[in-house]
Amino acid sequence: MTAGHDHGRNRLPSRRTRRRLLSALAATSAWTTCLVGLAPTAHADDIRSQQWYLDAMQAEKMWKVSTGEGVKVAVIDSGVNASTDALRGRVLPGEDMTGAPGEATDDYLGHGTNMAELIAGSGVNGSVRGLAPGAEIVPYRIPLKGLDGKLDSDGYAKAIRAAADSDAKIISMSFGGPYYREDGEKAIEYALGKGKLLFASVGNDARKENKPRYPASYAGVVGVGATDQQGEVTGFSQHGMNVDLSAPGSEMPGWCDKSFQKYCVRDGGTSAATALASASAALIWAKNPEWTANQVLRVLVDTAGRKDDKKGASSVYVGYGAVRPRIHLLEGRGDPGDPGKNPIEATEPTPSAPASPSWGESDGKSRTNDAGGTDEGRKDRVENTAAESEDDGDLWIHLGAGAAAAIVVAGAFVLVRRTIRKT
């Protein structure tokens, strides 16, 4: 891995220096999930109607080509309940990293089970249907906020290494914390060396601190932001140097709590977006089992939704765009390219004065954005245009023009896009 490019006298501090400075500014060391609040309870027989993103992504059509069968996804989270209707028979043996009573299939929050269902749920008996219902889940339970006992951020690094040694192809991490850790970075490098494709949520604090989160900010991890039903970046989805792709993450169904008695419709979060991005990769990889992680990721990037259609350009708000696996599965588009080259290359936003997007709030109020201006009417927009015909159905969600070159200034630091190690 390399540091940022040299700009002479204005040379940016090294990645390690920036990490230490940003870590020093962090307010808390708790490793948290990236899911926000609950909405009213949804009856089981109505839960499919709440999965709006399946229709928007044309899941039924995609499933005729690929369901993700044969692809294993490691879910590093609070555990995965293997006995729910949606996951029965879909969860493989995993590993517990908490040291607390129970196993990897004892979910102490309900969060990990929700993520697993979004990825590979069967939909049986009115349960959640996953975007890749043919995939299988390998659970790794780590200590997150809410687990009785001490919070130990060592757990996720150990889990990443364990997942790297498994036959899971994809590692999904719907959690984050504010501190860089060398053991975390080394674990990521180890997993990349094993040919794994790693996704992590960028966080839900856009309205607050909006500081980089780990593991999403480690080089080689695909940081995932969230979009909503209106085709806009959600108000909570963090932005900056660690956003690579985006996926639906608003008004998502899931278990109301760890009792697993009923479903609720949640406000959503970048956690859910990460699960759906992971599931999208599973769909593509199942159709092309001979591909490497780099090739699967390149197709996701190449087919991502961008209204401005600036291929190769990255926005600090939605990265390269919103995942659209159907563009490859149904239309055969997307170039896998070099199997040994990571497609997410280092770029540095150029200082300029572009419009900044709004926070995607629905109350119509104007707010002050990070650049000091108001965000009214300026949004990273993604169109929710499920196909009306076979000719014009390739544009589910797109990024609005004007934000692709945006920069975010956090304190005294310019958030520079991460340098990604080639694997």
Q: Measuring CA to CA, which residue among 129, 109, 112 is closest to residue 120?
A: 129
Cα–Cα distance, 199 to 277 (Å, whole number): 7
Residue 17, classed as helix, strand or coil, is: helix
H or E segment at 226?
strand 222-227
How far is the C-alpha of 395 from the C-alpha of 117, rounded, in Å? 26
297 phi and psi, to 5 degrees? -65, -40
Residue 377: Cβ-neighbour burial (10 angstroms; 0-12, 13-18, 19+): exposed
Task: Determine contact, residues 78/33, Cβ cutoff 8 Å.
Answer: yes
Region of residue 147 (phi > 0: left; psi between -120 and 50: alpha; otherwise: beta): beta
Catalytic choice (271, 315, 356, 358): 271
Give me 43's structure tokens: 């009856």
Q: Active-site residue among 66, 96, 111, 127?
A: 111
Q: How many CA atoms lie within 13 A of 233 on its CB side?
A: 36
Q: How far apart are CA 228 and CA 44, in angstroms?
A: 22
Concerning whether 271 is annotated as a catalytic residue, the answer is yes
311 contacts 343 by C-beta, under 8 angstroms = no
Nearest to 246 by CA among 216, 219, 220: 216
Q: Which two tokens stand for residue 192?
A: 């990349």
Q: Nearest-CA neighbor of 358 among 371, 339, 340, 343?
A: 371
**The two structure tokens encoding residue 105:** 């299939």
Strands 32-33, 38-42: pairing kind? unpaired
Residues with Cβ < 8 Å from 187, sequence gap 6 or more?
Answer: 156, 157, 158, 160, 161, 164
All residues at 6 or more sequence positions from 252 whose CB lies less than 8 Å from its CB, including other chains: 50, 53, 114, 118, 265, 266, 268, 269, 272
3-state secondary structure of 251: strand
How would DSSP label each residue in 299-334?
HHHHT-B-TT--TT--BTTTBT-B--HHHHHTT---
Asked about 77 being catalytic, the answer comes back as: yes
Indicate which residues carry an active-site annotation.
77, 111, 271
